[in-house]
Structure 1
């Protein structure tokens, strides 16, 4: 009877300790497959096993035995040493998440690489177009320079021809003026001899 009272008191204490903790998510450590017990100690009956990485809910803690009361994914309630629980997701949970992140990052990198290649191609195309436009402007500028050189040579030739024509006209006027002066001089010399002779001839006839 006395022993039964102690057992009831211990169960009440355990129940009280378990009720003071809210449910918390924990994970079975990655490096083991652990046994779960019906009570907070290895002296209690084993009621099953949990594989490493499984997620469980921590219902309470027995500080005296350092055991925690858990509920697994199958709905079983049992006890397990606290050192076999972790508050971080196990590799069993992390690996698929990490693989998904790697896949997502790989896709982003592929997209970035494709976008970078597209932008590079666009820039190269624009540079080539600008080079072509620049070369066209250079060719046009050189053509204008050539036309200007030809025009200047033609203008110089026209100026030379104009000078020759002006000299020819001046020479023609000079010759014409000299001719007129010469004719006038001759007439001036001849007329005095011609006119008086006629007058004398007329006077004898009268």
Structure 2
């Protein structure tokens, strides 16, 4: 069992070393080639359907014109070296080129879409900038109007204060004139009462004097 294990480990290591040293090769532009168990047509055919573009791992090349290769599914065999190439065949290169071209077209479409979106954003920003400029102008005009109104308000406030002071002065004058009028009215009433009293007194005096001025009957008789 130990010997078998040792042999198995040796084979695994050899296979791993061969796999590490293997180089990727491709079946050349030939319709199909045959893989055999040895270096010659007399050996058994392992695969007869290795078509153009099949990827193979080159294990070892021989001077006999054959190369030991491994298929993707792990089968090892010998094929003619002249049917191998170290680069993909034209068909595969064309497929890859078409795929790369399609990717490039997709990237171009995406870039065009991004460019269109960028232009739309630029137009939107330009419109926003124009709107902001218009708004700024409107705000500047409104600010000028507010300043003018504020100046007018200050002027009106000063005028209002002046009018209030003038009104107060007029009220004071009215109060003075009212007091003077009341004083004059009181004086007129007093003078009228004095005049009335004087007339009454004069009437009393006349009433006393007039009888004295009349001639008496005795005096008439003497005459």
TM class by shorter-chain length? 0.5 to 0.7
The structure that has the greater radius of gyration is 2
Distance 1:154 1:72 in 2: 101
Per the alignment, residue 36 of structure 2 pairs with: 60
1:107 to partner: Cα distance? 1.7
| Structure 2: tracts of 5 or more residues without a match | 1-25, 52-64, 67-79, 205-223
1:141 to partner: Cα distance? 3.0
Structure 1 pair 90/185, CA: closer, same or farther in 2 (3 Å)? closer
Of structures 1 and 2, the one scoring higher in RCO (CA 8 A, sep 6+) is 1
| CA deviations over 1:111-144 (Å, ceiling 9, x no partner) | 1231121121121122123223333433343333
Per the alignment, residue 168 of structure 1 pairs with: 166
Q: CA contact under 8 A between 1:56 and 1:72: conserved in structure 2?
A: yes
1:71 to partner: Cα distance? 7.2
Structure 1 pair 94/179, CA: closer, same or farther in 2 (3 Å)? same
TM (norm. structure 2) is 0.52
| CA deviations over 1:87-108 (Å, ceiling 9, x no partner) | 7664333332243234323322
Instruction: Trace 1:112-131 onto structure 2 (pairs within 5 A).
Output: 112-131=110-129
Q: How many residues align?
A: 152
Structure 1 pair 153/67, CA: closer, same or farther in 2 (3 Å)? farther
Cα RMSD after superposing both structures = 3.6
Distance 2:170 2:118 in 1: 77
TM (norm. structure 1) is 0.56
| Structure 1: tracts of 5 or more residues without a match | 1-25, 29-52, 74-79
Distance 1:193 1:93 in 2: 144
